[in-house]
């Protein structure tokens, strides 16, 4: 009987379903919460995340919008200022550029410019990353751009627990929070506690402890990095894997503690190398732990090209297990 009860406490779920359950839970908890975006209602969302929510909660809570990212993101900013708790879904990160003025010049600045009289408790969700042959205009990884902006938080849930638990914590934040969901994770399945709750959004997580090198990553690259760590283990290389989870603010303490232990680091970032989030993390390591390093900090990023459409070229352009393992071995002088 005890085993049966334990089995009932865990459900098999996809990343997509975990995000949906997070939205459903938020809608039930707080009448101020509503979801808005293109095709989130009758169509069920571009990635089927909101499928079924319109029938359950109605058109006042699940709002289909016109194809105007600037318009409905601005409406979300206004609704948040007026006391609501909107969740704005931007179909993919490239479309967020059409709303960049609302995010950068309004949402991120209003608390500062109003002398703390107004906040914008807004959550913006968007798909990011490459791997589905969506070609150059729909395969961006621009979360590093947004991590550059003061006044907002930037999250990258890579696990089922974070996909399920980050949203409610973000909705409780008094300031804007952007959540980047990697497109390659939506179909990922696994086991999740049926009563999974909100999670801390301010701390990185050590997903695999190790002694020889720190592999620092986030989002869709986490699983490639863990696979690379398993490959390295067959060559007696004990890699520690850090999942950043929050890209702004960065959890310097966890990063530096890991580097102080392993004395080597490689950062895996699906963004382009020039001006990348990986560059920022590498510089922080140099500033705070330079004398602990036994090798230069390495980076594995996407190639400096628009992401190609042909599958073999797309895969060649983004980080993969072989590139991550090679960078780790190079840092250890075993290339």
Give the other-Cβ count within 10 Å of 43's Cβ. Answer: 13
Provide the token pair at 120.
Answer: 């914008």
**What pLDDT shows up at residue 92?**
94
Of all residues in the chain, what percent carry a pLDDT higher than 90? Answer: 95
* Local structure of residue 23 (DSSP, 8 states): H
Q: Is the fold of 2-193 the same as that of 205-331? A: yes
Q: Assess whether pLDDT exceeds 80 at residue 1.
A: no
Spell out the domain ranges in the chain: 2-193, 205-331
Most distant CA atoms of the chain, gap in Å: 59
* Architecture of the CATH domain 2-193: 3-Layer(aba) Sandwich (3.40)
315 pLDDT band, cuts 50/70/90, is very high
* Closest among 164, 258, 159 to 206, alpha carbons compared: 258
| Nearest-angstrom CA–CA distance, 192 and 171 | 21
Rounded CA separation 335/329 (Å): 5
Task: Decide which of 2 and 270 is more confident.
Answer: 270
For the question of residue 21 being annotated catalytic, the response is: no
257: left (phi over 0), alpha (psi -120 to 50) or beta: alpha
* Cα-trace Rg, the chain: 20
Structure tokens at 122: 């807004």
Stretch 69-85: mean pLDDT: 98
Q: What number is the average pLDDT over the span 224-251?
A: 98
SS3 298: strand
Catalytic residue among 17, 21, 138, 143: 138
What string of DSSP letters covers 211-232?
Answer: SSEEEEE-TTHHHHHHHHHHHH
Q: In the chain, which residue ranges form alpha helices assigned H by DSSP?
A: 2-8, 15-29, 53-57, 69-81, 93-96, 100, 110-113, 143-146, 160-171, 221-233, 252-262, 277-289, 311-317, 321-331
What is the C-alpha separation between 121 and 105, in angstroms, rounded? 15
Average pLDDT, the chain: 96
Catalytic site residue 140?
A: no
- Contact in structure between 225 and 217 (CB atoms under 8 Å): yes
Taking the model in full, what pTM does it have? Answer: 0.95
Q: Are strands 246-248 and 153-155 parallel, antiparallel or unpaired?
A: antiparallel
Identified catalytic residue from 17, 69, 143, 240: 69
Mean predicted confidence (pLDDT) in 269-282: 97
- Distance between CA 185 and CA 19 in Å, rounded? 11
Give the mean model confidence (pLDDT) for residues 94-107.
Answer: 97
Separation between Cα atoms, residue 203 and residue 247, nearest integer Å: 10
| Domain 205-331 fold | Rossmann fold (3.40.50)
Q: In the structure, what pLDDT confidence band is assigned to residue 335 with cuts at 50, 70 and 90?
A: confident
Three-state secondary-structure class, residue 204? coil
Mean pLDDT of 263-285: 97
């Amino acid at each position: 009987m005890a085993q049966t009860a334990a089995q009932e406490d865990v459900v098999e779920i996809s990343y997509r379903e975990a995000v949906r359950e997070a939205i459903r839970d938020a809608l039930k908890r707080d009448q101020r919460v509503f979801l808005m975006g293109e095709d989130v209602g009758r169509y069920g969302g571009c990635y089927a995340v909101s499928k079924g929510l319109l029938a359950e909660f109605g058109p006042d809570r699940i709002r289909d919008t016109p194809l105007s990212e600037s318009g409905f993101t601005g409406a979300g900013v206004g609704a948040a200022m007026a006391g609501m708790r909107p969740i704005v879904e931007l179909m993919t990160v490239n479309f967020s550029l059409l709303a960049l003025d609302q995010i950068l010049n309004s949402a991120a600045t209003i608390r500062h410019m109003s002398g703390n009289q107004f906040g914008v408790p807004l959550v913006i969700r968007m798909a990011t990353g490459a791997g589905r042959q969506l070609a150059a205009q729909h395969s961006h990884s621009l979360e590093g751009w947004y991590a550059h902006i003061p006044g907002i938080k930037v999250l990258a849930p890579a696990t089922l627990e974070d996909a399920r638990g980050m949203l409610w914590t973000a909705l409780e934040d008094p300031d804007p929070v952007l959540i980047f969901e990697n497109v390659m994770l939506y179909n990922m399945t696994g086991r999740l506690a049926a009563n999974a709750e909100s999670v801390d959004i301010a701390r990185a997580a050590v997903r695999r402890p190790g002694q020889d090198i720190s592999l620092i990553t986030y989002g869709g690259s986490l699983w490639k990095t863990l696979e690379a760590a398993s490959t390295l283990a067959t060559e007696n290389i004990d890699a520690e894997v850090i999942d950043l989870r929050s890209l702004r603010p960065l959890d310097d303490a966890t990063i530096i503690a890991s580097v102080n232990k392993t004395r080597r680091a490689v950062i895996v970032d699906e963004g382009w190398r020039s001006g990348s989030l990986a560059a920022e993390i590498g510089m922080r390591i140099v500033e705070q732990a330079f004398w602990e390093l036994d090798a230069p900090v390495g980076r594995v990023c996407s190639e400096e090209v628009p992401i190609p459409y042909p599958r073999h070229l797309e895969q060649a352009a983004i980080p993969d297990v072989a590139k991550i393992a090679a960078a780790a071995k190079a840092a250890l002088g075993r290339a």
